[in-house]
Every structure is written in structure tokens, then in C-alpha cells.
Amino acid sequence: MKAIIRARSRAGKAARTIGGVVLVLALSVGGYFGALQLTGNFHPVVANELYRSAQPTAADIASYQKMYGVKTIVNLRGENTGSPWYDAEIAEAKQLGITHVDFRMSARRELTQAEAGDLIGILEQAEKPVLIHCKAGADRSGLAAALYVAAVAKLGEAAAEAQISIRYGHISLPLSSAYAMDRTFEALEPWLGFQARE
């Protein structure tokens, strides 16, 4: 009987330890994602050429222009006239003389090669520096940044793929709702001059 009690005690202790580790990991990941959002998930992609962020406020736009000289904003959420975030973005860009471009894409749907070509063309021709953004700055911004790094800056496959990563809040798992961004890049690799994976 004492052996059974000791075994249960050890099993309970192991379960509490595992539960504690899982809780610490969950809090750490949650804290990291929270910090990304609190900082606007702003990152340089190619200094003086391309920057990426979550949805910027009017104050963020003014700050990015002052600090980084942003001349063009490419909004990956598409035109949303009447939405407060969109109207504020348009007004601030206009006031600061920043060119504003809308390119609608969804993190849940793969881009076609033609759509990717259109986006690359916009990014290539836009007056630099360019700020690209979506809502969280993780998924759509990640794919757009990867396409720029691959097709315009020509910094290589590894540098491009690094833009679609957990570092920016993107979850690269097949069950993720934004996995279409990963599938898009993989499908476009031969077109971008990279070898497709088997």
C-alpha cells in the first residue's frame, strides 16, 4: 500500500513539474508575442529600402518617417475606406507627403504567381524607403518581405525565408491559419530562382 502511495506521489510531482514547465513556456511565448505587438512589430528588412510593421497608428507613421525617412506605405490589408485605422493612415500619409498604396491579400489564401509578381513590381518601383504592413506584421508582411528579399534585394533563399518566421510572430505550422504564406513562398521558389524542395 505504501508503494502505491509513493508511486502516486511521484506521479503527481512529475505531473506538477511538467505542468509548471508548460505554463512557463506558454507565458514566455505569450509574452514574446505581446511584446511584438506593443512595439508595433517594426523591423528593418533592408535598411534604407524596406521596413515592415503591424498596423501603424498615425503617430507611428510620423515616427517612422522621421526616424527612417519612409516615403511609401504599402498597406497589405487593402482599401478599407470608412474604417478608422484606414482613414487615419490615409490622412497621416497625405499630411506627411507619403505615397500610399493598397494591395489586398489574405494570410489565409495563397498568392498566385501573377499576384506575387504584381506585389514585387509595386515594391520594386515604389519610392524608397518603403513601409509594408498588415494587421499584426507577422504573416502578410512576412511574405511580402520575403518576396522583396528574394526578387528585389536578391539576398538569397535563407534570408528571404527568415522573413516568414516566429521571430516576427508567424507560426509556420501546417495547421496554422496563416500557413498559406509558407505554401506561397515554397510554390514560388523555382520562379524566384531557388530550387524547389522535394
- pLDDT tens string 118-174: 999 999 999 999 999 999 999 999 999 999 999 999 999 999 999 999 999 989 888
SS3 call for 97:
coil
- Helix (H) / strand (E) containing 104: none
Asked if 141 contacts 117 with a C-beta cutoff of 8 angstroms, the reply is no
CA 155-158-162 angle, to 5 degrees, is: 100
116: pLDDT confidence band, cut at 50, 70 and 90? very high
**Predicted pLDDT of residue 18:** 60
Query: Which amino acid, 118?
Result: D
Closest residue by Cα to residue 137 from 32, 34, 37, 47: 37
175: pLDDT confidence band, cut at 50, 70 and 90? confident
CATH code, 41-192: 3.90.190.10
DSSP state of 152: I
Question: Can you give the pTM of this predicted structure?
Answer: 0.82
At 40-64, the pLDDT tens digits run 799 999 999 999 999 999 999 999 9
Q: What angle in degrees, to the nearest 10, is found between the helix axes of 180-192 and 113-125? A: 80
Query: Which amino acid, 163?
Result: Q
Asked if 53 contacts 141 with a C-beta cutoff of 8 angstroms, the reply is yes
Q: Taken in order 160, 161, 164, 168, is the CA torsion positive or negative?
A: negative
C-alpha cell at 191: 520562379
